Amino acid sequence: MGRVPPLYTLTRHLAAVAAGRTPPDLVIRARGVLCTYTERILPDREVWIASGRIAAVRPRGTATGVATYVADGILAPGLVDPHVHVESSMMTVCAYAEAALRNGTTAIFYDNHEIANVCDVAGVEWMLLDARQAPLLAYLTVPSTVPSTSPGLETAGGDLTPEKIAAIFDRWPEAAALGEKMDFVQVTEGDLRAHAILQEALRRGRPVCGHVYGRAFVPAYAASGVTDTHEAIDPDIAQDLLEAGLWLFVRGGPPTTPWHSLPEVIRVVTERGASGQRVCLCTDDRDADDLFRYGLDWVVREAMAAGVPPERAWSMASLHPATRYGLDGEMGGLGGGRRADLVLLDGWAVRSTWLGGVLMVEDGEPTEALEEAMARRYRYPDAAYRTVRCPPEPRLVPDLPDGPCTANVMRVELPGILIRHERIPLGPVRSWPEVLAAHDLCFVAVIERHGRTGTVGHGLLQGFGLRSGAVASSVGHDAHNLVVAGTEEAEMRAAVEAIRTAQGGVCVVREGKVVAMVRLPIAGLMSDLRAQEVAAETAALKRAWEEAGCRLPYMGFNLLPLAVIPEIRLTDRGLVRVPQMDIVQLFE
């Protein structure tokens, strides 16, 4: 790469092109241009591009004698996703970029607390290098809550202290904000470590992203410096958040999952009359299969279907996120001097995508430029491929209780991701099959997999629906210990061994054999394959998951150890009540 020219050289060049003194590098002509600044479609326009940026938007046919791309559709700014967990796609950033570009997303703000929980600062920086090589604008929101609970409640592989977080901000210019502060209870109660982390972002002028459940927590959370959140589930808390000064990220998940809160939350704008000025659309979590089908462009169309005017809905996923992070001078609109990140729309569906003025996707297919970028994907170091270090033969099923007792049980409550705390009286127990059948239970265990303690937490899961065999995952949020469920220990052991052998993954086992698996050798979280390959594996896994009878989707299953979501969770240390943040025994 040659020396980057001084900024004034670039601005002088763009001014010369816009004024007509110097020809543009490329002109894209279209039936119209979406102006996100005024939320209007300007008919018969062309976009002049120079040095990878927009020099001007002119009436169609103004430029002559230059390279011209004639587009039969509407040109709009590339989408900007303000809250993403790339690891949830089970892909690297480079692989994620390919699927995102096909959906018109040209910039993301990603929180990689998943790999941070496994590999500490090293994992964060591996992904930053991955992102620098990806054909996508990728900004980091620095993981803020690693581990997500106190060490006494779970065992993680990483520990991001305030000092480590400060160093990431100072070393990496693409560290744009502090990632979601998940320990909202500790924040509102004034925990010293939580507030020390907040201060490292605030003193550097970086925004702080949030994660909060419950209207009662909003005032103290906002007073602590948090200025956005994506966890609103209804218009009541959405209104509280907006009135407290937080940006509202409205999450559009695949339509059959608990993550699709958009239809309810957006009512704060469409029915209650709140301004949409500080409302953004985001995806949050997508696996590879769903990313192709339900990208950010799909979320925009869902907002339109819910009553948001189309031009405003697109702005909520482009200009609004860019503005939230103070980067509206770089992206989010087709104003002069902004990056030439554009999409061609056909009825609000994305046909083609340009990144920095380079055509990356044309008519839904990768161009030669995108294929070349995929051939140069970042290679993670060998250490990233050696992170599943479980005890050799962990005990996966609890002992039968000696006498009458009460079992503290985790109950699946669909369609949400909340897990209810049930107390089931048990008389004298003769056998586990008898107990499981009588109460619609299966075994669940969380195994420490970072080679530190070898601890195993045991639980009973009600309403999961697993009829036989076992399912397991090395993506047990947020410490990312190994979580396994089954109806008998031998099947559970086969699932654990499959994941240990692959050094990570999500699998379904039946009669001791793996019937479907997504292998995740990078930190036990990500595949090193391309997006379409990971999507195919994921689709096969989801089919096998449903055939096994599992009612809770595998991404919801991965959240069983996440001890910041009510009411009860299972970590390698045992059952944790939320928000009390204490451990309870399986049998009392």
Q: What is the CATH number of the domain that holds 286?
A: 3.20.20.140
Bridge-based pairing state of the strands 74-77 and 40-50:
unpaired
Average pLDDT over residues 472-479: 95
Beta strands in 324-437 (DSSP E): 342-346, 349-355, 358-362, 365-366, 405-412, 419-426
Based on the domain organization, do 349 and 433 belong to the same domain?
A: no
- Looking at the predicted structure, is the pLDDT value of residue 564 above 90? no
128 and 222 inside one domain: yes
**472 plus 565 within the same structural domain:** yes
The answer to the question of residue 34 being in a domain is no
Of the candidates 110, 104, 116, 165, the one whose C-alpha atom is nearest the C-alpha of residue 138 is 110
Task: Show Cβ contacts of residue 365 under 8 Å, excluding neighbours closer than 6 positions.
Answer: none
* Domain stop point among 317, 339, 366: 366
pLDDT at site 7: 62
36 lies in a domain?
no
Residue 45 in any domain: the answer is: no
Is pLDDT at 106 greater than 70 in this prediction? Answer: yes
Does a structural domain hold residue 84?
A: yes
Number of domains, the chain: 2
Same domain for 360 and 389: no
Among 241, 224, 215, CA closest to 181: 224
Q: pLDDT tens for residues 453-470? A: 999 999 999 999 998 999
Q: Is residue 122 included in any domain, yes or no?
A: yes
- Give the pLDDT confidence score for residue 1 in this predicted structure: 35
Residues 119 and 86 in one domain: yes
- pLDDT tens by residue, 16-48: 999 999 999 999 999 999 999 999 999 999 999
Q: Is the domain of 479 the same as that of 527?
A: yes
Q: What range does the domain containing 307 cover? A: 77-366
Residues 187 and 233 in one domain: yes
Cα gap 570→37, rounded to integer Å: 47
Question: Which of 315, 339, 366 is the C-terminal boundary of a domain?
Answer: 366
266 and 144 inside one domain: yes
| 3-class DSSP assignment, residue 232 | coil
- Closest CA relative to residue 209, chosen from 79, 78, 81, 338: 81
| Tokens standing for residue 519 | 């292998």
Residue 255 lies in a domain: yes
- Residue at 24 is within a domain: no
260 and 395 in one domain? no
* 121 & 219 share domain: yes
pLDDT recorded at residue 154: 93
Q: CA end-to-end span of the chain, whole Å?
A: 65
- Share of residues in the chain with pLDDT > 90 (%): 91
332-358 pLDDT per residue, tens: 999 999 999 999 999 999 999 999 999
Query: What is the rounded average pLDDT of the residues 237-261?
Result: 92
Which pLDDT score is estimated for 2? Answer: 43
Provide mean pLDDT across the span 58-87.
Answer: 95
In this structure, the answer to whether residues 361 and 390 fall within a common structural domain is: no
> Do 176 and 261 belong to one domain?
yes
What CA–CA distance (Å, rounded) separates 263 from 279? 14
Residue-wise pLDDT for 401-441, tens only, equals 988 999 999 999 987 778 999 999 998 878 999 999 999 99
Q: Residue 443's closest CA among 464, 428, 419, 422?
A: 464
483: Cα within 13 Å, side-chain hemisphere: 26
> Between the CA of residue 319 and those of 311, 329, 479, what are the distances in Å?
11, 10, 34
Is 149's pLDDT higher than 80? no
The per-residue pLDDT for 6 is 65
Name the 3-class secondary structure at 503: coil
Is residue 30 one of the residues assigned to a domain? no
Chain-wide mean pLDDT for the chain? 95
